[in-house]
Amino acid sequence: MSDPVVPETPHQHDLVLERTIAAPADVLYRCYTEPELVCQWFCPHPWKVTEASLDLRPGGTSYHRMEGPDGEVNHVRGQYVEIVPGKRIVGTDAFIGNWVPSEKPFMTSIITFRDMGDGTTLYRAVARHWNAEDKTLHEEMGFDEGWGKAADQLEELAQNLLANA
């Protein structure tokens, strides 16, 4: 396997969520890459993803429409940098598609799935920020709690998929 385009080497502006999830890596990858599944888990309740569009290739566009309980709407646009099926997804909001720069880059996400060989996966989600201020802002927005709740929802969905397979 070749070296990843975006290294997993820790960076000073990283926020990291890592846990072992009771589901195989290929099922978690499906939950990340099939729009109808993404809408079921991707942001912590009571927020929800009401639309997801994913062009899963380096340079492909990603779009998530997130809606809050009080009518808030966030349009999250980005672009994939690296896709390794079943193992790794790297995307950034520095571009909004077709290598068009975004107005204000915030982070690059580095998602890895390491199959542990026993039906579990070491899941690692890195939010790599452009600067210390953005990292601090993300922490204050509730990175640990929000991404943690989303990971709980990811695990629950993956287990439901396995149970209904």
CB atoms within 10 A of CB 162: 13
Instruction: Specify whether the backbone of 70 is left (phi greater than 0), alpha (psi in -120 to 50) or beta.
Output: alpha
Model confidence pLDDT, tens digit, residues 20-73: 999 999 999 999 999 999 999 999 999 999 999 999 999 999 999 999 999 999
Beta-carbon neighbour count of residue 3 at 10 Å?
6
Of 3 and 150, more confident: 150
Domains of the chain, each with CATH number or no CATH: 14-163 (3.30.530.20)
**pLDDT for position 8:** 67
Residue 157 backbone phi and psi in degrees, to 5? -65, -45
pLDDT tens profile 72-124: 999 999 999 999 999 999 999 999 988 999 999 999 999 999 999 999 999 99
Q: Please name which of 2, 1, 4 lies closest in space to residue 82, comparing C-alpha atoms.
A: 4
| Tens digits of residue pLDDT in 119-152 | 999 999 999 999 999 999 999 999 999 999 999 9
For residue 165, what pLDDT band results from cuts at 50, 70 and 90? confident
Q: Which residues pair with residue 79 across a beta bridge? A: 61, 92
Q: Compute the distance between CA of residue 115 and CA of residue 135 in angstroms, rounded to an integer.
A: 29
